Amino acid sequence: MSAASETPHALKPLLIAGEWIAAPGQAFESINPATGQTNFLISAASEAHVDQAVESAWNAVRQPAWRDMLPHKRAALLRAIADGMDRHADTLARLQMIENGKVQAECRAQVASASATFRYYAGVCETLTAEVTPPRGDYLSMTQYEPYGVVAAITPWNSPMTMEAQKVAPALAAGNAVILKPSEVTSSPALELGRIALEAGLPPGILNVVTGLGATAGKRLVEHPGVRMVSFTGGTASGRAIARAAADKLMPVALELGGKSPHIVFADAAQDAAIDAVIGGIFEGSGQSCVAGSRLYVQRGIAQAFIEQLVARAGRLKVGLPDAAGAQMGPIASFAHRDKIEGMVGTALEDGGEILLGGRRPDSDALRAGAFYLPTILGRLDGNARVVREEIFGPVLCVLPFDDEEDLVAQANDSAYGLAAGIWTADYRRAWRVARRLEAGSVWINTYKQLSIATPFGGFKQSGIGREKGLSGLRLYQQSKGIYWGL
């Protein structure tokens, strides 16, 4: 049944071995953060359900029909999934919108991006080659790439459609079976993706979707001896726990974790364009993005004028219901997370900070029932403040001045994180120097949050391990094998 035709409070089942399995005993609610109302009840997978999913995945991946499938035929399946996502784009966008509160336009754009990801990896699957390596004797040597077998994909709540496509598509293209465990906040898009994959002809058991809590279903999935690799996007604390479990199993992991990205504006920057980028970089998606430009460094000579214009423009952002015409910011994805953001802003005041904009919930009666929070800009802080050092994952921007390149690089790199950074300057030599010195996996110059499925993505330091996207994003889900032919 399509999610669009379901009634509120309907129980959404798990997808295991191509069958829909209801688990009402430990069901939990999906809450619309814009209204506080219940969307659906979600089945919570038990450890036994996870065991069943792993068994079904191994049964499916060992079948000759999948194991020996030629690359162009596997690519055709990925394209068929993309076609299905395009047909059901409205449903997918709506499910994401009512579960995490992103505005409708962004949800639609992310569904289109997810569909394009499946098409990209269909192309990679069909054209990627192995290598014949230079021999050092009387033999022919070559490298072959093999799937791990069964991999787990654990995805976050902030951008479920793009994150699920970014993991599932390359893992399938690499020849694996996948067990997808979405965040309990945004379970429905993953279930809909599973339904679309079955409709497209993906063999049962090759994609299983187990919804539930991280402490039960997620923990069992990571620790299960039948899971050979885990790809996780989420918080750094959870990433550490997964890494510890993986170490015990000697299992490879890909971890895309938190960020506290510096967004840098030099005095010679195109200031109007920089202001627009700073606003988009932190307030798009209500700041709930791993690459959000949450630390703004402005060269001291232009800082006062730049910040005044920034505050004025950001103050005109329209905060509203996600499907309201012209809405630019929706609610925070959950009420608990909004409470956390409010608490962090409180610590900024304790640390001597000043609220330049926002710092509160909106006054509108129409938004009172939702988890809304206004775009917030904080000033008069130094690098020791908690809000400067810790990931808030919300629409909160910390503004700090800098004097010169040395001062800037020292401040920008003074962080446990290293996911992304942005630089605005008219001097290309300076841009190159600073970009090379910044400890970040992605650096944008005179732009921000430009993302391409063709370009590897990941973090330095505590922002993660491994690289997703691009050709390496498929190899992430394979292991290399050397084969020697005696001559």
Where in the sequence numbering do the catalytic residues fall? 256
Between CA 33 and CA 341 the distance in angstroms is 15
H or E stretch covering 55: helix 47-61
What value does the CA radius of gyration of the chain take, rounded to a whole number of Å?
Answer: 23
* Amino acid at the residue 191: L
Query: On the CB side of 55, how many CA atoms lie within 13 Å of its CA?
Result: 6
Contact 344, 387 (CB under 8 A): yes
Alpha helices in 226-334 (DSSP H): 236-249, 271-283, 300-314
Residue 126, both tokens: 């069909």
Between CA 179 and CA 184 the distance in angstroms is 15
The set of residues, in sequence order, having a beta carbon less than 8 Å from that of 402 and lying 6+ positions away, is 264, 297, 298, 299, 300, 408, 411
Q: Give the closest residue to 210 by CA, choosing from 92, 60, 46, 57.
A: 46
Which residues is 400 bridged to in the sheet? 297
CA 81 to chain centre: 20
Other C-beta atoms closer than 10 Å to the C-beta of 157 total: 21
Contact 308, 475 (CB under 8 A): no
Residue 419, both tokens: 């996911």
Q: Burial level of 440, CB count in 10 A (0-12/13-18/19+)?
A: buried
Which residues is 461 bridged to in the sheet? 417
* Amino acid at the residue 121: Y
Between CA 154 and CA 135 the distance in angstroms is 40
Q: Give the closest residue to 44 by CA, choosing from 223, 186, 216, 231.
A: 216
Q: How many helices (H) and strands (E) does the chain have?
A: 16, 23
Contact 118, 77 (CB under 8 A): no
